[in-house]
Amino acid sequence: MIGIVIVSHSKQLALGVRELAAQMVQGQVSIAVAAGIEDPDNPLGTDPIQVYEAIASVFSDDGVLVLMDLGSALLSAEMAIEFLPEAQQQKVYLCEAPLVEGAIAAVVAAAAGRDIHQVMAEARGALLAKATQLGVVSRPLSLVSHNTPTTNIESPTREIRLIVSNRLGLHARPAAQFVTTAARFQSQILVRNLTRNTELVRGDSINQVTTLGVRQGHELLITATGSDADEALTALQGLFANNFGEDNVALNSPPALHHEVTPAIHGELLGIAASAGVAIAPVVHYQPTHISITEYHVDDPDAEWQRVQAAIQTARQEIQAVFSQASLQIGDAEAAIFDAQLLFLEDPVLLEAAKERIFEHHINAEAAWQAVVDEVATSYRTLEDSYLQERVDDVVDVGQRVLRLLGGNPPANVHLEEPAILVATDLTPSDTARLDPTKVLGICTTSGSATSHSAIIARTLGIPAVLGVDAQVLHLADGTLMALDGESGKAWVEPESHILDLLAAKQEAWQTAQQEARATAHQPAITRDGRQVSVFANIGSINDVQVAVASGAEGVGLLRTEFLYLDRTSAPTEEEQLEVYQAIAQVLDNRPLIIRTLDVGGDKPLPYLRVGFPEANPFLGWRGIRFCLDHLDLFKTQLRAILRASVGHQIKIMLPMIASVTEVRAAKVILGEVQAELNQAGISFDAAMKVGIMVEVPAAVAIADQLAAEVDFFSIGTNDLSQYVMASDRTNPRVANLVDALHPAVLRMVQQTIQAAHTAGISVGLCGELAADTLATPILLGLGLDELSVNPQSIPGVKQAIARLSIVESEAIVASALQQDSAKHVRELISTSVIPPA
């Protein structure tokens, strides 16, 4: 596959571009960086030798594309090529494309298997999205009848009727699952809301499905015409049977609204209580860049349509980046909001309408796109259902993103020097997901609602928000003092001293309650009948361990060491690793620290360690312990650092992705070699340090009794175990709904692992996301786990959940759960079980 090299004066800039580009293709393309110079006082510059080494590291007979920034970067690249053998020189191409946009376009084209000339063309074409032009009028888009596909009368038509049980019906996330499932099949899928007597619409159109206005209790008619009609309907029926993987308990639900009966006093604004909490800070206005569209006649509709496609492709990559960042910041469940935005960009009805306007009416790309987006937005606004009306925010959000790219405008970001309350007409979901809660202390807008996606994200981030206030707030000068109460839905401009005193007291009371919760979190987690369960933290940095200890962690159950290896051009040295491991162990103060050895491959490739060929199924490929056993220098360096850090600390080693006894024994032999080398060198380490494994492969479960005889502990990784058991890639939105750790098949695997561990007399923990789900806590206790390891923020809630339960009650729930036939029924069982309130 084609390799990409990024040459820049700034190392930070180049690493950022590489990270963004790598996310676009999930590491399928080798990307090397040659940037900066080794001069602490003047690090900006380029080095031909560094460029040469970068080219060599990603060289392929398919070709290498080199992208550069300014001035000497080009000279360094030209010189670097001269160092290469003549045969290789012919396969290295310097490209004048813009660094950021060009890199993204190039990696996407390379991942798609295009040749070097096509990849270069794509990189150069990235400039196309920055062209600005003028435009004309065209006809409106009908979202229903004339866009409904004609069916093939020679193919059989099957139909089913289903009742929707989701609490919020087919809102964005379940609608996205419906559409992605329908799109997998050759058959034409049509759906109709019988309860509202709508017309049939296309099942592969996110907008048509969402605008059916499907709510809980509605009956749908779904038809499929084609050779795989039965399979398609069975798959769709499965989504409904599994409740689209959702609980009917509101997550991050809005606070109850308090309707004020007294008029607002001077300086007081009444609005909608959207996210609880008190904020007192100066005002800063946020105004996204206004995009003005003019319609005009074009002579080359092909070129305009290519511009639309290029902008959509870049928008898709941007949204994927937002999704990745949001997953880390607010969690996968809330970040799934952006899945629906991705489907909006793939909606065939929308794309066909935009293309039709361009080719039939010869109007420019901006005007055509704006027209169809306006029509879709209008169709949402005219729905009777207020919840579905609010989904127009997502339509506008993604529509404006494409328009911005067509016009070549930079994204509008919120950059605050000091903490402030953000005042705006509205915030899109993308805007809100990018906010820094340490700088944005509160949100005050003139529109919006408590059930909008932006409000949901604000609640998840813990940012107080009052929405729908009077527009006079938009005329306040930046720096004006404001106070807001996200629980009552009130805001005050230049509040008087007695208002500030009341709010400060409320803020202090809230902080005291949080402190008490944190204090309780530092107590052991003991069930009502006296069983103590260790609650550890999953961490990925030194900052994480500080948060973990402050949150009540009794140790670290999983230190992901990948952060040491990413965002750099070479592997970390032994000394670099030793320093980090010691620093983390020092913060833990003799609490247990389980260090997982390097787990790269799959969705976490290292650009400077080339696989040599693309893997069709990287999650089933060269990753985890398999990778380390083939990179002994890398593996031994990490083991040496861990062993040296173990002196005076309670450190354990954990091996990932174990599938056989042979792998464990091979790793133990290497560990023994490293220990012998340290002994010979007179370097101290904990000779009794325990060794455990991750149980995340079904094969490890099947031979858990054999593996238990080889190691000191197990840690079950339900994230990977679930996807392997269900044969479903959890990063693929089309099948991700099948990956549910509460599925009885997965729970039986967990039970089998625990039984094998306890029979052998070793402890067993669980470090997957399931451990943080308090709905699952009775299941995990009933299965007999000794330890739960969760993200630091979840520790207080998990400990409280354990304290409310007894082992006897939990075991009874497990006995029933293992006999259920779906994750949905397991969740229903837990929800209806009698568990004492907090």
What residues are annotated to the active site? 453, 767
The strand pairing partners of 389, in sequence order, are none
Query: What single-letter DSSP state applies at residue 264?
Result: P
**Distance separating alpha carbons of residues 401 and 434, to the nearest angstrom:** 15
| CA R_g for the chain | 28
Helices (H), 557-660: 574-588, 625-629, 632-645
Helices (H), 681-743: 698-702, 704-708, 718-725
Would you call 40 exposed, middle or buried from its count of C-beta atoms within 10 A (0-12, 13-18, 19+)? exposed
Alpha carbons within 13 A on the beta-carbon side of 442: 30
**Distance separating alpha carbons of residues 522 and 550, to the nearest angstrom:** 8
Coil/strand/helix, residue 708? helix
Would you call 460 exposed, middle or buried from its count of C-beta atoms within 10 A (0-12, 13-18, 19+)? buried
**Distance separating alpha carbons of residues 776 and 2, to the nearest angstrom:** 45
Tokens coding 10: 């700034």
- Within 10 angstroms of residue 369's Cβ, the number of other Cβ atoms is 26
Contact 97, 124 (CB under 8 A): yes
Strand positions, DSSP E, 409-531: 420-424, 440-445, 465-467, 481-485, 490-493, 525-526
- Within 10 angstroms of residue 430's Cβ, the number of other Cβ atoms is 26
The strand pairing partners of 220, in sequence order, are 162, 193
**Distance separating alpha carbons of residues 640 and 689, to the nearest angstrom:** 13
DSSP string, 556-573: EEEEEGGGGTSSSSSPPP
Taken in order 149, 150, 154, 157, the sign of the CA dihedral is positive
Which residues neighbour 348 within 8 Å (Cβ) at sequence distance 6 or greater?
202, 204, 205
Contact 514, 286 (CB under 8 A): no
Which residues neighbour 503 within 8 Å (Cβ) at sequence distance 6 or greater?
278, 280, 483, 485, 492, 495
Residue for token pair 């990024």:
6
Helices (H), 228-361: 229-241, 301-330, 332-335, 337-346, 348-361
Q: How many residues does the chain have?
A: 838
**Distance separating alpha carbons of residues 713 and 734, to the nearest angstrom:** 35
> Nearest 5°: phi and psi at 693?
-135, 155
Contact 40, 12 (CB under 8 A): no
**Distance separating alpha carbons of residues 84 and 51, to the nearest angstrom:** 11
